[in-house]
């Protein structure tokens, strides 16, 4: 991880995109990660020689494809220490998972019930709950953040009430990198009888997730944030909680019986997995899980922290850089601004300098309002990044300043 000179090395270079684009620094891992060769190879092999539909076929290829998907379900169960495999619901990603949770709970909410969100949430955790609130008469309450970019837990302690039905919060901020104290939030929610739904999109590839230790009711992730395919994700939920949800998607494979007068639905996980699933993508998620398990969380977290600290120190050494979010508990995400330069211009020049960063509001416009900026520049790190990528980022920012000043 660190060589004798204190430089951080990549944990893995087994990523074809990284090899094909040698000399280009990919620092947009918060948006999506590149794919490990084992993921690409598994999907290619499956589509080339093993592909068939799942669940309903009695021929050998269909049964084998079904078993391949179920193996991944069990692998993910182990990955997050879930009690039961049937609690692992395959979705198209975090957005679908959060919509399934929000609209699935709509039948439990009434006028005056409280839905608690936070100022740092991604739009995928804002918009579904807003829509549900409009339809049910529920009220949204928003947890503020502190000047260093942490949740105001004291505010939560005094503002969660017996009317609070659900707290929906991200585990890690996609803008600030802050790791939220989920067990603390769960403890407060339990005191008032509220459920806790967690957006784990930014956490799942950076820190270990143990849903039983966290104590949450639901945890939602995307495969493409963890070196796996796009188009697949997981909504995990406690059996009792999942069983109360109204299905979000109706149609094939989630039914028990259908007559001209009505329908009944099957049990978990099928009742929340309507339609043909993303079969190849589910199969491809398996090697991504295996890759992360093979590298191991101690190495991943140490690598993440080393890059974040090095990048933070070096960015602070540049004139006119403002870093947003300086919690002492962060993952490898750094959002910043360059004085007098629009983030889009920063991003364009960095691309010319062979560096990819994210610019914009990062689907977190309420947070941008709190920060008092229309957009930021975001650098986010993955296992294939190294100190050399930070060198390029700093050199690119120096070029930005030379052009605009």
CATH topology of domain 39-293: 3.40.640
What are the DSSP calls for 56-112, one per residue?
Answer: S--SHHHHHHHHHHHHHHHHHHHHTT-S-GGGEEEESSHHHHHHHHHHHHGGG--TT
What span, in angstroms and rounded, lies between the C-alpha atoms of 164 and 235? Answer: 22
Query: Which are the catalytic amino acids?
Result: 363
| Alpha-carbon span 74 to 72, nearest angstrom | 5
pLDDT of residue 3: 52
Q: Where are the beta strands (DSSP E) in 1-48?
A: 25-26
Classified as helix, coil or strand, 206 is coil
Name the CATH topology of 16-30+296-404: 3.90.1150
Question: CATH 3.90.1150.10: which residues of the chain?
Answer: 16-30+296-404
Instruction: Identify the burial level of 59 via C-beta atoms within 10 angstroms of its C-beta, where 0-12 means exposed, 13-18 middle and 19 or more buried.
Output: exposed
Rg (CA), the chain: 22
pLDDT for the residue numbered 110: 96
Q: Which of 44, 51, 168, 188 lies closest to 102 in space, CA to CA? A: 168
pLDDT at 5: 64
Specify the pLDDT at position 4: 47
Integer CA distances (angstroms), 184 to 63, 151, 209, 221, in order: 44, 11, 15, 21
Would you say 128 and 189 are in contact if contact means Cβ atoms under 8 Å apart? no
> b/e string for 225-244 if b means 16 or more Cβ within 10 A?
bbbbbbbbbbbbbbeebbee
Tens digits of residue pLDDT in 202-211? 999 999 999 9
Bridge partners for 234 per DSSP: 90, 221
Q: Is the pTM above the cut of 0.85?
A: yes
Mark residue 177 as left, alpha or beta (left: phi above 0; alpha: psi -120 to 50; beta: remaining).
left
What gap in Å lies between CA 315 and CA 216, rounded to an integer?
36
Q: Over its length of 405 residues, how does the chain's per-residue pLDDT go in tens digits?
A: 555 467 999 999 999 999 999 999 999 999 999 999 999 999 999 999 999 999 988 999 999 999 999 999 999 999 999 999 999 999 999 999 999 999 999 999 999 999 999 999 999 999 999 999 999 999 999 999 999 999 999 999 999 999 999 999 999 999 999 999 999 999 999 999 999 999 999 999 999 999 999 999 999 999 999 999 999 999 999 999 999 999 999 988 898 999 999 999 999 999 999 999 999 999 999 999 999 999 999 999 999 999 999 999 999 999 999 999 999 999 999 999 999 999 999 999 999 999 999 999 999 999 999 999 999 999 999 999 999 999 999 999 999 999 997
375 alpha-carbon distance from chain centroid: 20
Please, where in the chain does CATH 3.40.640.10 lie? Answer: 39-293
């Amino acid at each position: 991880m660190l060589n004798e000179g204190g430089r951080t090395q990549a944990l893995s270079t087994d990523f074809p995109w990284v090899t094909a684009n040698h000399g280009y620094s990919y620092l947009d891992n918060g948006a999506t990660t590149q794919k490990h060769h084992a993921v690409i190879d598994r999907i290619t092999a499956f589509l080339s020689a093993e592909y068939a539909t799942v669940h309903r076929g009695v021929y050998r290829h269909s049964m084998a494809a079904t078993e391949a998907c179920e193996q991944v379900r069990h692998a993910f169960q182990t990955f997050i220490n879930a009690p039961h495999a049937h609690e692992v619901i395959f979705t198209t990603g975090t957005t679908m998972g959060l919509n399934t949770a929000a609209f699935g709970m709509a039948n439990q909410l009434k006028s005056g019930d409280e839905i608690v969100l936070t100022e740092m949430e991604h739009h995928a955790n804002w918009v579904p709950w807003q829509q549900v609130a409009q339809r049910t008469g529920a009220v949204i309450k928003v947890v503020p953040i502190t000047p260093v970019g942490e949740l105001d837990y004291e505010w939560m302690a005094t503002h969660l009430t017996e009317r609070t039905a659900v707290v929906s919060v991200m585990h890690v901020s996609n803008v600030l990198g802050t790791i939220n104290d989920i067990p603390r939030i769960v403890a407060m929610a339990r005191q008032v009888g509220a459920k806790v739904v967690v957006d784990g999109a930014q956490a799942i590839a950076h820190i270990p997730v143990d849903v039983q230790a966290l104590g949450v009711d639901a945890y939602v992730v995307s495969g493409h944030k963890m070196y796996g395919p796009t188009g697949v994700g997981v909504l995990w939920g406690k059996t009792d909680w999942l069983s109360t949800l109204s299905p979000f998607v109706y149609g094939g494979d989630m039914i028990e019986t259908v007559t001209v007068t009505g329908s009944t639905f099957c049990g978990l996980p099928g009742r929340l997995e309507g339609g043909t699933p993303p079969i190849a993508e589910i199969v491809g998620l398996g090697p991504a899980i295996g890759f992360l398990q093979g590298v191991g969380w101690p190495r991943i977290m140490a690598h993440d922290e080393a890059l974040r600290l090095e990048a933070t120190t070096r960015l602070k050494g540049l004139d006119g850089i403002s870093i947003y979010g300086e919690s002492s508990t962060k993952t490898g995400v750094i959002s910043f601004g360059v004085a007098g330069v629009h983030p889009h211009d920063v991003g364009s020049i960095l691309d010319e300098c062979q560096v990819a960063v994210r610019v914009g509001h990062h689907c977190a416009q309420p947070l941008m309002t709190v920060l008092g900026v229309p957009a930021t520049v975001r650098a986010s790190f993955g296992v294939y990044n190294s100190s050399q990528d930070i060198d390029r980022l700093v050199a690119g920012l120096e070029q930005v300043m030379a052009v605009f000043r």
